[in-house]
Amino acid sequence: MGRTKLIFVIALLVLGTVAFALAGFRGANYTVRQVLASDPASGPSAPRVPALEFVVTSQDVFPARALDPILYVGKVELRQYRYADISNRTLVFTLFDWRKLEDDVPVYLQYGNDKRTRTDLPNFHIGMIKSH
């Protein structure tokens, strides 16, 4: 009987973990700031150019997964990201061609094409951009 109880507890833990992973990130929010950054697509010695950083934070840890996180800002997909620190509660997405951005558009974070991981964020407004 002890073994059955242990299996049941393990099953509940696994189900709880899966449900948590699919529920989105608690307290997720973001800020947008102007920065000077080197575009990695331009090579290792690329000059620093104006860019935008979308700094996404959460109460939950952003896990390392096979599918990378993508930040959708309206029709724009931001795929270039980095973890801000070792706590893994902050992702920084960089956008170099910010002329594509539209005002008052939905924003969400999702791992690859896995729609179960989608976390909706507040709409993006041009006025949110802060100078660094």
Q: What distance, in Å, lies between the first and last C-alpha atoms of the chain?
A: 61
Residue 17 parent element (H or E): helix 2-22
pLDDT digits (tens, 9 = 90+) for 12-35: 333 333 333 445 899 999 999 999
So where are the chain's domains?
2-131
Predicted structure pTM score? 0.80
Looking at residue 22, its pLDDT comes to: 44
